[in-house]
Structure 1
Amino acid sequence: MTSIPVQKQISQAFESLSVETEGPDLLDQTAAVGTWLALIGATDGLLTLMVRHTSASLLIQENADPDVQVDMLDALDRLAPRNQPYAHEVEGPDDMPAHIKSALTQTSLSIPVKDGRMLLGTWQGIYLVEHRDRPHHREIALHFIGTMTG
């Protein structure tokens, strides 16, 4: 007698993660995203995250040494300095450099999930990168597609 493998049903879930920022910074979102995956009972699938703004971004970056975050912000400032003669100046001198930094980094991430855990490397974390000087309310859209318990 041949056994037929049981097909697991594919499901999906959506959420929005709110983040308050205080100015240029890398804000670790790894734990919040992991908590959401546990809450929905994610087992195996694909997680997509997207920041819903044009002057902030998402990065997977080292989470062990905080100097990496300092150096990353410094490097982005050198790549898109404020003191350039940008045509877009309506929202202040930090806005156009913020758009450039967002374009140079990422606004969305795709992360495989296996056995309920994101398949991040040992020293990797998920960061929201704020590129503007003033505090902002940022939203990250989360989408999981795959198998879930329950």
Structure 2
Amino acid sequence: MQSEVLDVDTRRRRTVDLTDEVRSFCAGRGDGLCNVFVPHATAGVAILETGAGSDDDLVDTLERLLPRDERYRHSHGSPGHGADHVLPAIVAPSISVPVADGEPLLGTWQSVVLVDLNRDNPRRSVRLSFVSG
């Protein structure tokens, strides 16, 4: 298995498009699977269309589902931080993408994005791993 860690700043955006990094990582590796994993208890990764509003719609939907208030038992950090710890149950912390001849087999409008609503920690690690197949 080949692996690489990306350092991502989420201070400006709640979703960060990682597709170019995934494509670059997979280039020249042949056929296999690329796993994208976020080793954090308050972030996830998703495949969705970006740039046409879907990324903002996802954030809006998650913020409606996970309001930032005092209802959470997990209560350290900023107000409503408990919602951040529920996020990975909705947006998984990892995805796998099939790769053929070094190219991730994403659909025309599909992008790989990091999803991070946590305002307490804007520095994220994302591990890309490639398993030959």
Tell me if both proteins adopt one fold, taking TM over 0.5 as the criterion. yes
Identical-residue share of aligned pairs (%):
35
Task: Report the AA paired with residue 59 of structure 2.
Answer: L
- Displacement after TM superposition at 1:28 (Å): 0.2
Q: Deviations over 1:20-67 (max 9, x none)?
A: 1106511000001111222xx2110011111010111100001241x1
Matched, 1:49 2:36: yes
TM-score by structure 2 length?
0.92
- Displacement after TM superposition at 1:101 (Å): 1.7
Mark the runs of 5 or more structure 2 residues left unpaired by the alignment: none
Task: Report the AA paired with residue 18 of structure 1.
Answer: D
Task: Report the AA paired with residue 48 of structure 2.
Answer: Q
User: What aligned pairs does 1:1-150 form with structure 2 within 5 A after superposition?
Assistant: 12-22=1-11, 25-38=14-27, 41-65=28-52, 67-134=53-120, 136-146=122-132
Task: Tell me the secondary structure at the aligned position of residue 118 of structure 2.
Answer: coil
Evaluate the alpha carbon distance shift between residue 135 and residue 88 of structure 1 in structure 2; reply closer, same or farther with a 3 A threshold. Answer: closer
Q: Deviations over 1:60-113 (max 9, x none)?
A: 001241x11111111001111112421221112242111112211110001100
C-alpha contact (below 8 Å) 1:16/1:142 kept by paired residues: yes
Mark the runs of 5 or more structure 1 residues left unpaired by the alignment: 1-11
Task: Report the AA paired with residue 37 of structure 1.
Answer: C
CA–CA distance in structure 2, aligned partners of residues 122 and 64 of structure 1: 13
Number of residues of Structure 1 aligned to a counterpart in Structure 2: 133
C-alpha contact (below 8 Å) 1:60/1:127 kept by paired residues: yes
Evaluate the alpha carbon distance shift between residue 108 and residue 99 of structure 1 in structure 2; reply closer, same or farther with a 3 A threshold. Answer: same
C-alpha contact (below 8 Å) 1:24/1:133 kept by paired residues: no
C-alpha contact (below 8 Å) 1:13/1:143 kept by paired residues: yes
Task: Report the AA paired with residue 114 of structure 1.
Answer: A
TM-score by structure 1 length?
0.82
